[in-house]
Amino acid sequence: MKIENLQKGIDQQDILQDINLTFKQGEIVGLIGRNGSGKTTFFRSLAGHYELDQGKIFINQEDIQINKILRQKIFYIDEQYNFLSSYSLNKLLFFYQHAYAGFNKEKYLSLTKKNKLHPHLKYRAMSKGMQGLYKTILAICSNAEYLLLDEPLDGLDVIVKKNVLGILLDDVSENNRSIIISSHNLNELESIIDRALILKHTRIQLDYHLEALRENARKIQLVFKTKKVPTLVKENSQLLHFQGRVITAVFENYTEELKTLIQAEQPILFEELPLTLEDVFEANLANKNEVNSLGGVIL
């Protein structure tokens, strides 16, 4: 799927701007942003629930706004506005079978049976966890190529969460689907996604491939003799915080050469700390706003 220059505003307010992205098959992508950052708007725009103000979306080089049958390749259930609640699972199966030509009924039946989701059960009579599980089952059984999952783990207990993740992971290893998961919880997603997109201020601010990031980035605590931070450090890192003389910084492209150069500045303390995704995002996002005020402190 290729998204070109997508733009969407609601009530004269820009929600999404300049979105240019490509999703590959077999990829699990995390869409990360705070509440109100536009994650749901992004999904609704892709799924065709909203008309785009600008931009195009292609699947296999075909424009999905023109060839509407391509919508079958996208699965999305709106969290707020959906029709599920008053129907029984049996009825929902019937609907989804008609909506998605490639619907895998066998898999649906075996998964619902395994998880004790009875066909006569009403959707609204199920617990939140059960609903979450059921939506995941619908998603993978639809056989759509692109699954857009809006906070699929939100509000689920640990056991259901593991179950949902397990179903998704099984599915990606078997089928070449791409799964786009939105969340505001980085820790939850850290081990399962290939790629993280950070949505902030109406734009995709960052696009990381996580294994590369883990390989190249380091979080380092430093203390120098003088209060001045060497320019070398300032140029190559994002400063997380200061505590007196102690500087904690994230170096996104950490190399042996850089290490030698830093050591040449003779720091009193030089220690690598465990780096989590959250550090990287905090470093980047905080810096965008506060670069000036931080700069003042350094000098």
Partner 1 sequence: MVSINKTSSKPYYEQLMLGIKEDILNGLLQSGDRLPSVREMARQLMMNPNTVSKAYKLLEAQEVIVTVKGKGTYVKKIDPTLRDEYQIQKIKNKFNELIIEANYLNVSKDELTHWLEESDQQLKGESI
- Residues interacting with partner 1, by CB under 8 A? 26-28, 162, 165-166, 169-170, 172-174, 190-194, 211-212, 214-215, 217-218, 272, 274-276
Tokens representing residue 138 in the block: 């619908």
Shortest reach from residue 254's CB to partner 1, in Å? 9
Shortest reach from residue 270's CB to partner 1, in Å? 11
- Angle formed by the axes of helices 89-99 and 105-114, nearest 10°: 150
Positions of E strands within the chain: 2-10, 13-22, 28-32, 54-59, 62-63, 74-76, 146-150, 178-183, 195-200, 203-209, 218-223, 237-243, 246-251, 269-273
Which of 167, 294 has the CB closer to partner 1?
A: 167
Tell whether the torsion through CA atoms of 127, 133, 137 and 140 is positive or negative.
positive
Which of 89, 189 has the CB closer to partner 1?
A: 189
Which of 73, 218 has the CB closer to partner 1?
A: 218
What is d(CA 147, CA 73) in angstroms, rounded to the nearest whole number?
8
Asked if residue 79 lies in contact with residue 70, where contact means CB atoms within 8 angstroms, the answer is no
What is d(CA 20, CA 6) in angstroms, rounded to the nearest whole number?
7
Which of 121, 213 has the CB closer to partner 1?
A: 213
Which of 142, 163 has the CB closer to partner 1?
A: 163
Asked if residue 236 lies in contact with residue 261, where contact means CB atoms within 8 angstroms, the answer is no
Which of 19, 210 has the CB closer to partner 1?
A: 210
Shortest reach from residue 159's CB to partner 1, in Å? 13
Shortest reach from residue 101's CB to partner 1, in Å? 26
Closest CA to 21 of 37, 48, 1, 41: 1
Q: Which residues contact 110 (CB under 8 A, 6 or more apart)?
A: none
Which of 69, 158 has the CB closer to partner 1?
A: 158
Shortest reach from residue 298's CB to partner 1, in Å? 25
Shortest reach from residue 258's CB to partner 1, in Å? 14
Asked if residue 131 lies in contact with residue 164, where contact means CB atoms within 8 angstroms, the answer is no
Shortest reach from residue 83's CB to partner 1, in Å? 32
What is d(CA 240, CA 287) in angstroms, rounded to the nearest whole number?
8
